[in-house]
């Protein structure tokens, strides 16, 4: 059975539908990246998944438990890093994590060791006695993470954890996602940054207007836009016959020539076609200076599915 199951999940605000009959399964051990532009429905989905928001329709299971009928059991298994910081500015880093550890029922020696472990994990051990109000945005985000992981949750959900922070904290957070996953937690990570989701996810779901418009491994998603595979060749001695022959190749969709640059759009990605291209060019004594294969990315997929960029 899947670790997480969302079946036909619907959420409306007033008369507007924010999550529209969403079906999604996530297996234990995954780093699942939920990608989509602002307003796509990612946070609403996360809130329903973690029991913070009532579902209008459908059902959600986490580790075989119903979020609707066993909310406390589900919450115990989840570490939620919310988009809006959930820390107390007036408390020290240590007091913040201790507060949340108590809420999760930790006491005594175990509480003390878990608080230290969590602060150490996010790189704030040496600032544990300082008030959160003295921290940079990135440090506050890291403290937010410490507060969510000290109880060793099976599922860690991070909602846009890198918005508006410095590159160093961002890298620290991305690295900690990998480490937490290696240590055994399943991760759900929402972002509207394609590069981040691409860097850490084992599988990606793309949301838009409350719908899951694509879902799969990055390789599977890339295949969906295979027709957009591009090869750029810088060359000398380009002759018309070579361009003509490339144009006639059954797998090449379009050839454009500008100055000393040949741009090819391929129907599908394959090394075999690359061999064909090299063969044709060398047959006509075209001298290749450089060759670049441009693989379609998640941004290209979003564009091909919606006609918009992620940042529109
Ligand atoms: P994302 O996390 O992908 O940016 P959200 O889940 O926050 O998207 O929002 C999805 C849609 O639901 C948006 O159109 C948003 O305006 C709407 N929405 C979210 N929260 C509320 C709310 N509390 N009241 C009314 N509309 C909301």
Q: Tell me what pLDDT residue 274 has.
A: 84
Tokens of 308: 């918009």
Q: What pLDDT digit, counting tens, does each position of 236-272 carry?
A: 999 999 999 999 998 888 899 998 999 988 766 555 6
Query: Does residue 19 surpass a pLDDT of 60?
Result: yes
Tokens of 189: 């990570």
Q: Domains in the chain, start-ordered, CATH in brackets?
A: 4-223 (3.40.50.300), 228-295 (3.30.70.100)
Percent of the chain whose pLDDT exceeds 70:
96
Three-state DSSP state, 154: coil
Q: Give the Cα separation of 273 and 289 in Å (integer).
A: 19
Q: Which residues contact 163 (CB under 8 A, 6 or more apart)?
A: 83
Q: Tell me what pLDDT residue 250 has.
A: 85
Chain length of the chain: 312
- Closest residue by Cα to atom 16, ligand 1, is 39
Three-state DSSP state, 123: coil
172 C-beta closer than 6 A to ligand 1: no
Query: Ligand 1 mean position to 308 CA, how many Å?
Result: 19
Tokens of 257: 């020539």
Query: Which atom from ligand 1 is nearest to the alpha carbon of 41?
Result: 6
Query: Which atom from ligand 1 is nearest to the alpha carbon of 44?
Result: 6
Query: Does residue 226 surpass a pLDDT of 70?
Result: no
What is the C-alpha end-to-end distance of the chain, expressed in Å? 38
Query: Ligand 1 mean position to 18 CA, how many Å?
Result: 6
> Is the distance from CB of 183 to CB of 12 less than 8 angstroms?
no
44 C-beta closer than 6 A to ligand 1: yes
Which of 163-167, 187-191, 296-300 bottoms out in mean pLDDT, i.e. has the lowest? 296-300
Q: Tell me what pLDDT residue 117 has.
A: 97
Between the alpha carbon of residue 80 and those of residues 47, 48, 140, 150, the distances in Å are 9, 12, 15, 11
Tokens of 136: 């940079």
Query: Ligand 1 mean position to 35 CA, how many Å?
Result: 15
Query: Ligand 1 mean position to 42 CA, how many Å?
Result: 8
Give the pLDDT band (50/70/90) at residue 219.
confident
Q: Tell me what pLDDT residue 280 has.
A: 95
Phi and psi at 268, nearest 5°, equal -150, 155
Query: Which residue of 13, 42, 54 sits with most ligand 1 atoms within 8 Å of its CB, as the best mutation to test the pocket?
Result: 13
What average pLDDT does range 53-80 have in this prediction? 95
Report the b/e string of 235-246 with b at 16+ CB within 10 A: beebeeebbebb
Q: Give the Cα separation of 312 and 309 in Å (integer).
A: 5
Three-state DSSP state, 309: coil
151 C-beta closer than 6 A to ligand 1: no
Q: Give the Cα separation of 1 and 119 in Å (integer).
A: 34
Give the pLDDT band (50/70/90) at residue 139.
very high
108-121 and 93-103 helices cross at what angle (nearest 10)? Answer: 130
Which of 141-150, 174-183, 224-233 bottoms out in mean pLDDT, i.e. has the lowest? 224-233
Bridge partners, 245 (sequence order) = none
Report the relative pairing of strands 31-35 and 186-191 from DSSP bridges: parallel
Query: Ligand 1 mean position to 291 CA, how many Å?
Result: 44
47 C-beta closer than 6 A to ligand 1: no
Bridge partners, 258 (sequence order) = 261
Query: Ligand 1 mean position to 38 CA, how many Å?
Result: 8
Q: Tell me what pLDDT residue 269 has.
A: 54
pTM of the model: 0.83
What average pLDDT does range 275-302 have in this prediction? 89
Q: Give the Cα separation of 162 and 179 in Å (integer).
A: 17
For the chain, the C-alpha Rg in angstroms (whole number) is: 24
């Amino acid at each position: 059975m899947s670790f997480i199951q969302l079946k036909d999940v619907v959420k409306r605000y007033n008369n507007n539908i924010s999550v529209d009959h969403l079906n999604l399964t996530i297996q234990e051990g995954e780093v699942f990246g939920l990608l989509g532009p602002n307003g796509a429905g990612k946070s609403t989905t996360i809130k329903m998944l973690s029991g913070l928001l009532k579902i209008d329709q459908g059902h959600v299971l986490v580790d075989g438990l119903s979020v609707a009928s066993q909310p406390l059991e589900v919450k115990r298994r989840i570490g939620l890093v919310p988009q809006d910081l959930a820390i107390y500015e007036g408390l020290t880093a240590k007091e913040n994590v201790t507060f949340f550890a108590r809420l999760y029922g930790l006491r005594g020696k175990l509480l003390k060791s878990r608080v230290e472990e969590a602060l150490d994990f996010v790189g704030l051990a040496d600032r544990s006695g300082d008030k959160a109000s003295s921290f940079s945005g990135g440090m506050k985000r890291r403290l937010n993470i410490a507060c969510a992981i000290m109880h060793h949750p099976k599922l860690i959900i991070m909602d846009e954890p890198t918005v508006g922070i410095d590159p160093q904290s961002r890298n620290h957070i991305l690295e900690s996602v990998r480490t937490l996953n290696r240590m055994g937690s399943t991760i759900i990570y929402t972002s509207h940054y394609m590069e981040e989701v691409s860097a850490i996810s084992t599988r990606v779901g793309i949301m838009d207007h409350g719908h899951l418009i694509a879902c799969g491994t990055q390789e599977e998603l890339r295949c969906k836009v295979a027709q957009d595979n591009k090869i750029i060749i810088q060359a000398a001695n380009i002759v018309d016959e070579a361009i003509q022959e490339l144009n006639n190749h059954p797998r090449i969709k379009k050839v454009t020539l500008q100055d000393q640059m040949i741009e090819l759009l391929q129907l599908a990605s394959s090394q075999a076609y690359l061999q064909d291209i090299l063969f044709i060019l060398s047959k006509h004594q075209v001298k290749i200076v450089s060759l670049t294969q441009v693989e379609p990315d998640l941004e290209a997929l979003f564009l091909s599915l919606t006609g918009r960029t992620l940042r529109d």
